[in-house]
């Protein structure tokens, strides 16, 4: 009998307790024998997006899986890191079937938010025809498309927060210990992920590699702004404008900083 492998695709930036709860739920409900977290690679067409490095996301996922109820059955995969870019789900599925199809059968689990755009996936009809698909509810996203061709997991644990909310909590200095496993929290703190200081370091490294990318200067300038480092913020916004005079966001942010500074140093008693 073939091993039933459930594929959970995502960026996992970062992996949080909701991801692990869903994987555990799938095993508790006997939907699969094992769950593989398929971590998406860096998108080469979105090089300006401040995404956490691939292997850092993998390491966090590995830590979270080891702290799960089923550390031997829930594991991260780097398969999409090594396949041709950009990565398409159908290409990953074809590769897995060609190389492991004799020993494994594959199914997919995804959230209703992702499912809402499923018909934009490459060869989505073939995926529907050839693979069993489980869809779990996400707030604000009803399962409407192809509802009769998938299994809707109405009793799945509700994911109260997203990876975006985890990153925002870290950036704001809020307690995020209930969102991620202890080991993942320690990893995030150690590596300064999503803190203004950490993001400035990462953006500076990206700017060194892409010095003509005006969007990177805008993003770094925003973090300088949040740290009240006005001069550095203005310099970055000016650089972005010089590289791209049509960058309206850079102009707006530049003007806003100047307005703050002019008000700060204005003598309200002797205008």
**Preceding peptide of 77 cis, ω within 30°:** no
At residue 268, the pLDDT reads 43
At residue 141, the pLDDT reads 86
Entry pTM: 0.86
Whether 269 shows a pLDDT value over 90: the answer reads no
**Preceding peptide of 229 cis, ω within 30°:** no
Whether 140 shows a pLDDT value over 70: the answer reads yes
* Portion of the chain with pLDDT greater than 70, in percent: 94
Average predicted confidence (pLDDT) for the chain: 92
Q: 3-160: what fold? A: Rossmann fold (3.40.50)
Whether 241 shows a pLDDT value over 50: the answer reads yes
Whether 267 shows a pLDDT value over 90: the answer reads no
At residue 220, the pLDDT reads 95
Task: Give the C-alpha separation, 186 to 197, whole Å.
Answer: 17
Residue 166 neighbours by CB under 8 Å, 6+ apart: 14, 16, 176, 179, 180
At residue 163, the pLDDT reads 94
At residue 246, the pLDDT reads 96
- Quick one: how far is CA 87 from the chain centroid? 15
pLDDT tens sequence across 185-229: 999 999 999 998 889 998 999 999 999 999 999 999 999 998 899
Cβ burial of 218 (10 Å; 0-12, 13-18, 19+) is buried
pLDDT tens sequence across 162-188: 999 999 999 889 999 999 999 999 999
Cβ burial of 21 (10 Å; 0-12, 13-18, 19+) is middle
Asked whether this chain's domains 3-160 and 196-264 adopt the same fold, the reply is no
Whether 266 shows a pLDDT value over 60: the answer reads no
Domain ranges (residues) in the chain: 3-160, 196-264
- What are residue 187's phi and psi, to 5 degrees? -65, -45
Q: 196-264: what fold? A: 1.25.40
N-to-C CA span, the chain = 84
Q: How do beta strands 3-10 and 151-152 pair?
A: unpaired
Structure tokens at 202: 């990462």
Structure tokens at 92: 């990953």
- Of 228, 251, 229, the residue nearest 238 (C-alpha): 251
At residue 158, the pLDDT reads 86
At residue 265, the pLDDT reads 53
Whether 79 shows a pLDDT value over 50: the answer reads yes
At residue 174, the pLDDT reads 95
At residue 88, the pLDDT reads 93
pLDDT tens sequence across 20-55: 999 999 999 999 999 999 999 975 545 446 788 899
Task: Give the C-alpha separation, 156 to 150, whole Å.
Answer: 15
């Amino acid at each position: 009998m073939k091993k039933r492998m459930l594929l959970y695709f995502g960026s996992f930036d970062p992996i949080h307790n909701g991801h692990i709860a869903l994987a555990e739920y799938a095993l508790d409900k006997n939907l699969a024998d094992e769950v593989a977290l398929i971590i998406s690679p860096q998108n080469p067409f979105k090089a300006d997006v401040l995404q956490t490095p691939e292997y850092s996301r993998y390491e966090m996922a590995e830590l979270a899986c080891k702290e799960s109820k089923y550390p031997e059955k829930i594991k991260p995969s780097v398969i999409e890191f090594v396949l041709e870019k950009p990565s398409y789900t159908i290409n990953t599925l074809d590769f897995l079937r060609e190389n492991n199809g004799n020993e494994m059968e594959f199914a997919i689990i995804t959230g209703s938010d992702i499912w809402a755009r499923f018909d934009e996936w490459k060869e989505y009809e073939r995926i529907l025809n050839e693979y069993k698909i489980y869809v779990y509810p996400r707030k604000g996203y009803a399962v409407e498309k192809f509802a009769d061709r998938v299994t809707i997991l109405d009793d799945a644990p509700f994911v109260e927060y997203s990876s975006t909310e985890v990153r925002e909590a870290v950036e704001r200095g809020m307690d995020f210990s209930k969102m991620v496993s202890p080991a993942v929290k320690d990893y995030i703190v150690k590596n300064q992920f999503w803190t203004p200081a950490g993001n400035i370091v990462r953006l500076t490294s990206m700017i060194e590699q892409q010095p003509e990318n005006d969007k990177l200067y805008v993003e770094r300038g925003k973090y300088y702004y949040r740290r009240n480092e006005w001069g550095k913020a203005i310099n970055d916004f000016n650089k972005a404008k010089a590289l791209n005079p049509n960058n309206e966001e850079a102009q707006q942010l530049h003007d806003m900083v100047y307005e703050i500074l002019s008000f700060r140093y204005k003598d309200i008693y002797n205008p």
